Amino acid sequence: MDAVNSAGTDDYDVARMRRDALVMFDDAVQAVDARQCIHRFVSLDGGTLRIDDRTYDLDRYERVLVIGAGKASVPMAGALTSILGDRVSQGVVNTKRGADLEALERIEIHECGHPVPDHAGVRGATAMLNLLEGADERTLVLFLISGGGSALTPAPVGGITLEQKQATTQALLECGANIVELNTIRKHLSRVKGGGLARAAFPAHVVALVLSDVIGDPLDVIASGPTVPDTSTWRHCVGILDKYAIGDKLPEPVRRRFEKGIQGDLPDTPKPGDAALAACHNVIVAGNRHAVEAARDRARALGYHPLILSTRVEGEAREVARVFTAIAREIRDAGRPVPTPACVIVGGETTVTIRGAGLGGRNQELALAGAIDMPGLDGVVLMSAGTDGDDGPTDAAGAVVDGATVARAAAANLSPIDHLQRNDAYPLLDATGDLIKTGQTGTNVADVALILVGA
């Protein structure tokens, strides 16, 4: 698409602004392409492997193992094998079912359930642990970690079944727990999370290449921190259960495990200073910031005045939407915090408290809630989408709405308020032509939202 002066041609050209928003989002996704991220940080010169600012003499190692977990694990592994070739000895990666796959020589690929873990994930996680059993000082282990890695590597501790872990995950998703809270619980029910995989690899040399989907890029939260010490404790877990009052919704063995943990009858996850994790080198290859900055650069090229408001937005999707529309009104009325034509860019990840049995996702709910507040707000477009191409259990990445979305819904005999109350954004936004469908992108750095206000 031509990037010259798009925003400055026709005032309130909403159709053009909607197209601009999609172009900006596409640039955001391309900036965090999993393959490109690996190639930016990894190179091979003869027998010397360079990762970030460190080098590894591959002649010192008898085996090079590739372990991957996350929605981007296959393209990340593909990029790594294209660099290393036959120096890769073996590997196992777990990815989301339905992701684009490619044949990877010497690497097993397991398609697994997400966001609720399944038995395929257990088989893949077990294969990883089995592969690491023989690791020693002459083994180099390369971990590829990306968003979704936590749900995709279920390896329940003894006494907890997969079904009980699934029920726990579902209860946390339905109550609106954020990703940090969800992963805190998961780490205390797992053999691989919270440093578990790195502990299993000890005393091998371990490097983790991390594509971050978590606000602020905390290594102990991304994919539940399989290669770093865990800073969360049993007390944190119990605090989360109390916060959402869901203790009685969890399976009895899970409740008993947390009770024993808080009483000191069970060891906690590995903490800072643990010798098995001290030598792990973790490298963030991309995060939400990189996607947001790419969207900003495209917005400027298209003639907008861009402003990155935050890359740390959290909270209930419908409440965040009201803040976004308030910002649009402030720009329209007073030219603050940026003059028109304006593009305010936000990164992060909202949550949805499930109140109904509808179909949708956090980005669709945010867009629908925003649309309800936008009639009469001329020349404004709101877009929110997940960089992985998935928004909830749907085939949409998110949605782009404007001041006429509610009218389009009414023409289709649909009530936006009713659909919002039932968490049923997908069918309404499908009917109004506002859904964004990219397919799975092979990357995942949380969400990007855009507020465009015409001149």
* Residues forming a β-bridge with 346: 310, 449
Enter the DSSP assignment of 366.
H
CB-based burial, 334-352: b 16+ in 10 Å, e otherwise: eeeebebbbbbbbbbbbbb
The model's pLDDT over 91-105, given as tens digits with 9 standing for 90+, comes to 999 999 987 788 899
Instruction: Tell me what pLDDT residue 11 has.
Output: 54
What one-letter code names the amino acid at 376?
Answer: G
* pLDDT at 3 (0 to 100): 32
- Measured CA to CA, the distance from residue 130 to residue 107 in angstroms comes to 14
Phi, psi of 441 (to 5 degrees): -90, -15
Kindly report the pTM of this predicted structure: 0.85
Domains 14-31+289-453 and 34-155+190-232+269-286 are alike in CATH topology: no
pLDDT digits 0-9 by tens, 105-145 = 999 999 999 888 899 999 999 999 999 998 999 999 999 99
Which residues fall within 8 angstroms of residue 142, CB to CB, at 6 or more apart?
A: 64, 65, 66, 67, 80, 207, 208, 209
Query: What is the residue extent of each domain of the chain?
Result: 14-31+289-453, 34-155+190-232+269-286
pLDDT score at 102: 86
Q: How far apart are CA 113 and CA 115, in angstroms?
A: 6
Mean pLDDT of the chain: 94
* Alpha-carbon span 216 to 209, nearest angstrom: 16
Q: In this structure, are residues 451 and 380 in contact, taking their beta carbons and an 8 Å threshold?
A: yes
What Rg do the C-alpha atoms of the chain give, in angstroms? 23
Q: Is 14-31+289-453 assigned to CATH 3.40.1480.10? A: yes
Dihedral in degrees, nearest 10, Cα atoms 199, 202, 204, 210:
10
For range 31-51, the mean pLDDT: 97
Helix ranges (DSSP H) in 394-442: 405-411, 416-421, 425-431
Q: So what's the pLDDT on residue 10?
A: 45
Give the count of alpha carbons within 13 A of 192, CB side only: 27
User: Which helix (DSSP H) or strand (DSSP E) does residue 99 occupy?
Assistant: none
Q: Tell me the CATH number for domain 34-155+190-232+269-286.
A: 3.40.50.10180
Tens digits of per-residue pLDDT, 44-93?
A: 999 999 999 999 999 999 999 999 999 999 999 999 999 999 999 999 99
Token pair recorded at residue 46? 């003869």
Long-range contacts of 238-243 (CB under 8 A, 24+ apart): 238/262, 240/172, 240/177, 240/181, 240/184, 240/185, 241/185, 243/181
Given the DSSP bridges, would you call strands 398-402 and 54-57 parallel, antiparallel or unpaired?
unpaired
